[in-house]
Amino acid sequence: MNLIAIKDYVKIRKEEMKKEIFSLVRKPKLVIIQMNDDVASNSYVKGKLKDAEELGIEAKLIKLDESSSEEQLLTLIDDVNEDETVDGLIVQLPLPKHISEIKVKERINPKKDVDGFHPLSKFKACTPKGIVSYLTYIGFDFTGKNATIIGRSNIVGRPLAKLLLDLSMNVTVLHSKTSIEDRNFYLKRADLAVVAVGKPHLIKKDVPLKKDAIVIDVGISRLDGHLVGDIEPRDDVLLQTPVPGGVGLLTRLSLMENVLEAYQDGISR
């Protein structure tokens, strides 16, 4: 295996994408609708705009006031769905309480749903896609190996389980009702452990893991003013992804890959 750091992998992929995008007849276009003034969302949106600019993707941010109605948001989504110059559309979460997240996700044209949230979206959800692409790049051998995923959310745990099953892994998905004893049992057998919970250092460094395990830390939380993951840093496994500078970078990269894919699909439609 080529255990290249995530930041270096992302750099290589971005260079490849830049070249590809430069050769296109027009720039791929992403629209981001944001209907909150959440500090974390602002920083995620800023990151997406920065990535797009770096790669030569046109990105437009449309901010809707939090007091706008659901109808106003859905109408805006319809307009972007119909705009042929737009390849990808994302609605930044969280949404205000009076807006139905399900209705919003279902309203986005699946062909433009680059977050991969629509049930019929033709795109893979960004975090699972990024994790699998990175593991593939480093030469991880999925077939017949044990994956333990902690967290069963619709954006990470569940879609990742499907991707790993499709790659013939033996997949176990754990969650908030799993006992610590069972959690430790499944972690001990994992060739690949992915933790996506959002509880700082939930998995302590003395929890036994295989010495050649690959450990992917999806969680991001604040602890004593620092960003930390779900897993205490340890040096007794083959690879542990850092937080920050780990899965977050892969997620951002996948979003841009999906926008490029949406552009390519658009011209062949």
Residues with a known catalytic role: 48, 92, 115
Cα(76)–Cα(70) distance, integer angstroms: 10
Count of beta carbons in the 10 Å neighbourhood of residue 117: 23
Q: Restricting to residues 19-38, which ones interact with ligand NAD according to CB under 6 A?
A: none
Member of 127, 148, 240, 241 binding ligand NAD (CB under 6 A): 127
- What tokens appear for 46 in the block? 């800023």
Member of 248, 253, 257, 263 binding ligand NAD (CB under 6 A): 248
Cα(121)–Cα(5) distance, integer angstroms: 30
Residue 150 interacting with ligand NAD (CB under 6 A): yes
Q: How far is the CB of 169 from ligand NAD (least distance, A)?
A: 19
Residue 215 interacting with ligand NAD (CB under 6 A): no
Q: How far is the CB of 136 from ligand NAD (least distance, A)?
A: 18
Cα(123)–Cα(110) distance, integer angstroms: 8
Helix then strand then coil, in percent of the chain rounded to 5, is 40, 15, 45
User: Taking CB positions, which residue lies at the least distance from ligand NAD?
Assistant: 198
Number of residues that bind ligand NAD (CB under 6 A): 24
Query: Residue 23 burial (CB < 10 Å; 0-12/13-18/19+)?
Result: exposed
Cα(176)–Cα(194) distance, integer angstroms: 15
Q: How far is the CB of 221 from ligand NAD (least distance, A)?
A: 6
- What tokens appear for 220 in the block? 């991001």
Interaction pattern, residues 166-205, with ligand NAD; x per rule: CB under 6 A? --------xxx-x-----------------xxxx--x---
Beta strand 170-174 with 192-195: parallel, antiparallel or unpaired? Answer: unpaired
Q: How far is the CB of 252 from ligand NAD (least distance, A)?
A: 7
| Closer to ligand NAD by Cβ: residue 143 or 176 | 176
- What tokens appear for 60 in the block? 């437009």
Q: Which residues make up the interface to ligand NAD (CB under 6 A)? A: 127, 150-153, 155-157, 174-176, 178, 196-199, 202, 218-221, 247-248, 251
